[in-house]
Amino acid sequence: MHFTSERRLEDGVLEREFTLGEIPGILWTPDSSPAPLILLGHPGGLARMYPRLSARARHSAAQGYATATLELPGSGERPRSDAAEQARADLQRAVRAGKPVDDGIVERLVLPLVEAAVPEWQEALDALLALPGIRGPVGYSGGVIGIGLRLAVVEPRVAAAVLFAGSYVPRRMFEEARRVTIPLLVLLQWDDENNDRQLALDLFDAFGSKEKTLHANMGGHTGVPGFEGDDVNRFFARHLE
Amino acid sequence: MHFTSERRLEDGVLEREFTLGEIPGILWTPDSSPAPLILLGHPGGLARMYPRLSARARHSAAQGYATATLELPGSGERPRSDAAEQARADLQRAVRAGKPVDDGIVERLVLPLVEAAVPEWQEALDALLALPGIRGPVGYSGGVIGIGLRLAVVEPRVAAAVLFAGSYVPRRMFEEARRVTIPLLVLLQWDDENNDRQLALDLFDAFGSKEKTLHANMGGHTGVPGFEGDDVNRFFARHLE
């Protein structure tokens, strides 16, 4: 992990860009230390997602959390995968047509992404937790929900997760969902144009965690109300201390 | 409204029992004044429900809210209705048998209760808001969800409601739900033995409010996690100030 830039934001948060091998990422740290770490999930495209990610990072830093994120395979400046691009186009075509999305398309899009991304996030965890002032247990917060799901199953350092149900999950991952046991907060936008409501409810039902809470709000994919940011902080305060 | 008893609880909350005509009720007030009022809904049987109601009242008082509740028609010491008793028995038999509950049974149980209870709660509001130190706008918090739904439609002094989806609602009330416009927080116990999950999700979908949030948690009817009490307080803080 190499830091490539460093700047102090207005509210005192230190923002550092880094590369992990070829993969770009960003780390935000608060003044207080040691800070528990939250991994910020997103749909890919760090530059495009930066405004929302940095807002979440600063909101978390105000409560004493460090946050970090990584570019996803096939997004931003990273090499594209023809198969993933094809699957994404197929999914978007089905969604635009208002048709039920074939699970085969979802599998082609999500499974390779999860397989490729999760080991990278685990490698990032190794590097981040070796930095001074950052500590576990770790939280995961955001999408892609399939990545968060897989991390919750395979990565014991992740102790609690906020999963944004704003993307499709192949039915094949429901078996995996039953093996999740960490506390979960699942955020669902009731009229999310990027997801299927019933699929999200079925996935919430499938998670094996004894403590799991669903927060559903009105509006589309990007309309999560501001007060949910406070709820996310309180959720992590209960589970990462 | 006549006060029949008065005592100061350990945490400084003033608890007063009253009668409104023949109907018993309880009012809890914090030290601070004027306090916004929250009506505490419940399934009937004030004596049986007292431990949970007073806990909710004290939690609300700690945030500066007055709370009040009324006995429901046909519950506690109030005269029974044969028709309601029969409908309740029919509903319990259907639930025990694990069968889908016929909407006709739900109508026979819930509609007369809503019709009888809501004018009483409105009359209580007249009396409560005339007391010194208590002010609107008013919140409603709890079950019976049909009563909260009707109050949200017909009572303009109720400005926000936390509805506990722990009881059946006849499908005929869904039209009414579309006319609700106040902010709502709907609490759902995912495995509530007293309700049907899909009915609760359909009802949440039907509410006409632009701001509505669903919080679903694991466990049965009485298993609402303690942290939801804080969420309820924060919801009212956003809407009753």
* One-letter identity of residue A189: Q
Q: What percentage of chain A has pLDDT greater than the value 70?
A: 100
| Cα dihedral B94/A212/A202/B173 (nearest 10) | 50
Residue partners of A156: CB distance under 8 A and separation at least 6: none
B178 touches chain A (CB under 8 A): no
Tell me: the pLDDT tens digits for A151-177? 999 999 999 999 999 999 999 999 999
Tell me: the pLDDT tens digits for A81-138? 999 999 999 999 998 898 889 999 999 999 999 999 999 999 999 999 999 999 999 9
Q: If you ran DSSP here, which 8-state letter would residue B178 be given? A: T
Instruction: Evaluate if residue A13 carries a pLDDT over 90.
Output: yes
* Residue ranges in chain B whose pLDDT is less than 50: none
CB pairs under 8 A between A and B: 45
Cβ pair A212:B201 closer than 8 A: no
Cross-strand pairs, A70:
A25
How would DSSP label each residue in B42-110?
-SS-HHHHHHHHHHHHHHHHTTT-EEEEEPPTTSTTSPP-HHHHHHHHHHHHHHHTTPPPPHHHHHHHH
Confidence of residue A16 (pLDDT cuts 50, 70, 90): very high
In chain A, whose CA is at the least distance from the CA of B224? Answer: A213
A178 touches chain B (CB under 8 A): no
Confidence of residue A14 (pLDDT cuts 50, 70, 90): very high
Choose the closest CB to B215 out of A204, A215, A234: A215
* Cα A132-A39-A224 angle, rounded to 5 deg: 140
Instruction: Tell me what pLDDT residue A98 has.
Output: 85
Instruction: Tell me what pLDDT residue B111 has.
Output: 97
**Which whole number is the average pLDDT over A70-91?**
95
Tell me: the pLDDT tens digits for B171-212? 999 999 999 999 999 999 999 988 899 999 999 999 999 999
Q: What are the extents of the domains in chain A? A: 2-78+114-239
CB B212 within 8 A of CB B183: yes
Residue corresponding to tokens 């007030």? B29
Instruction: Tell me what pLDDT residue A194 has.
Output: 85
B214 touches chain A (CB under 8 A): yes
Cβ pair B210:A218 closer than 8 A: yes
Instruction: Tell me what pLDDT residue B98 has.
Output: 85
Q: With 0-12 CB in 10 A as exposed, 13-18 as middle and 19+ as buried, what is B8?
A: exposed
Instruction: Tell me what pLDDT residue A213 has.
Output: 98
Sign of the four-CA dihedral B39, B43, B45, B47:
negative
Cβ pair A218:B205 closer than 8 A: no
Instruction: Tell me what pLDDT residue B192 has.
Output: 93
Instruction: Tell me what pLDDT residue A239 has.
Output: 97
Instruction: Tell me what pLDDT residue A230 has.
Output: 95
Q: What's the rounded Cα separation, in Å, for the pair A123 and B60?
A: 46
In degrees and rounded to multiples of 5, residue B214 shows phi and psi of -105, 125
**Residues of chain B positioned with their CB less than 8 A from the CB of A200:** none
Q: What's the rounded Cα separation, in Å, for the pair A127 and B63?
A: 43
> Measured between CA atoms, how close is A238 to chain B, in angstroms?
10
Instruction: Tell me what pLDDT residue B236 has.
Output: 98
In chain A, whose CA is at the least distance from the CA of B190? Answer: A205
Classify domain B2-79+115-239 at the CATH class level.
alpha beta
Residue B148: helix, strand or coil by DSSP? helix
Q: What would the two tokens of residue B93 be?
A: 């038999």
Query: What ipTM was assigned to the predicted interfaces of this complex?
Result: 0.91
> Measured between CA atoms, how close is A63 to chain B, in angstroms?
17
Instruction: Tell me what pLDDT residue A23 has.
Output: 98
Q: What's the rounded Cα separation, in Å, for the pair A59 and A37?
A: 13
Classify domain A2-78+114-239 at the CATH class level.
alpha beta
Q: What would the two tokens of residue B75 be?
A: 């519950």
